[in-house]
């Protein structure tokens, strides 16, 4: 019984301390999932990301659950419904812009809207939070490929390989984009 209680405490502490991806993974969904690799792109007018910083709520148990629920709702908007602007709005409302998963998803949605400067900003922010975030490197490689810079995309592919090898879905997806066999 003590082991179960300690596991619960560890998961809750991880969620509260800025590692919500662990708690999300334990609840059945992974913020770092590659479900977003779908073809096509949308057009949009570039907008500068606002400079809001994250705030801490008093009820940390509630805020961790709110974060996880909000992240999954935004994830669904972006990956399942192709509602990139709605997803961006939902992610920004979480006020966790320094979280690598949040920043990566903001970058992905911005890129899909054609907001390349915003996407670069968010990918850089995600990598500052977690330099070994394979999904960010993969998406950043796709961003570079869209910009016509396949050499830089290949550099990003190498970063993904160093993090998770050549069999992980992040590597495979970026490799296919570079090879021209997958749309991004």
Computed over its alpha carbons, how large is the radius of gyration of the chain? Answer: 17
* pTM (2 d.p.): 0.70
HEC assignment per residue over 147-161: CCCHHHHHHHHHHHH
**Statement: residue 12 has pLDDT above 50:** no
* Residue 63: per-residue pLDDT: 87
Encoding tokens for residue 105?
A: 């998803």
CA distance between the termini of the chain: 47
* Residue 184: per-residue pLDDT: 75
**Statement: residue 24 has pLDDT above 90:** no
**Statement: residue 114 has pLDDT above 60:** yes
Q: What percent of the chain has pLDDT over 70?
A: 66
- Each residue's pLDDT tens digit, 121-165: 999 999 999 999 999 999 999 999 999 999 999 999 999 999 999
* Residue 125: per-residue pLDDT: 98
- Token match 């993904």: residue? 160
CA distance 184 to 179: 12
**Statement: residue 38 has pLDDT above 60:** no
49 DSSP assignment: P
Is-contact 30 83, C-beta < 8 A?
no
Q: How confident is the model at residue 19 (pLDDT cuts 50, 70, 90)?
A: very low
Encoding tokens for residue 29?
A: 């969904």
The pLDDT of 118-123, averaged and rounded, is 98
Q: How confident is the model at residue 71 (pLDDT cuts 50, 70, 90)?
A: very high
């Amino acid at each position: 019984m003590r082991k179960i209680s300690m596991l619960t405490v560890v998961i809750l502490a991880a969620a509260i301390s800025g590692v919500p991806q662990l708690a999300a993974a334990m609840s059945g969904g992974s913020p770092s999932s590659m479900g977003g690799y779908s073809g096509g792109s949308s057009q949009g007018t570039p907008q500068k990301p606002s400079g809001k910083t994250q705030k801490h709520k008093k009820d940390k148990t509630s805020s961790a659950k709110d974060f996880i629920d909000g992240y999954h709702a935004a994830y669904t908007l972006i990956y399942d419904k192709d509602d990139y602007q709605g997803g961006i709005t939902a992610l920004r409302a979480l006020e966790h812009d320094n979280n690598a998963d949040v920043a990566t998803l903001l970058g992905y949605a911005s890129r899909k809207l054609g907001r390349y400067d915003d996407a670069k900003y968010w990918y850089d922010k995600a990598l500052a939070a977690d330099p070994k975030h394979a999904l960010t490197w993969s998406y950043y490689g796709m961003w570079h490929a869209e910009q016509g810079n396949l050499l830089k995309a290949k550099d990003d592919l190498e970063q993904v390989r160093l993090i998770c090898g050549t069999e992980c879905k992040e590597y495979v997806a970026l490799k296919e984009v570079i090879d021209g066999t997958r749309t991004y």
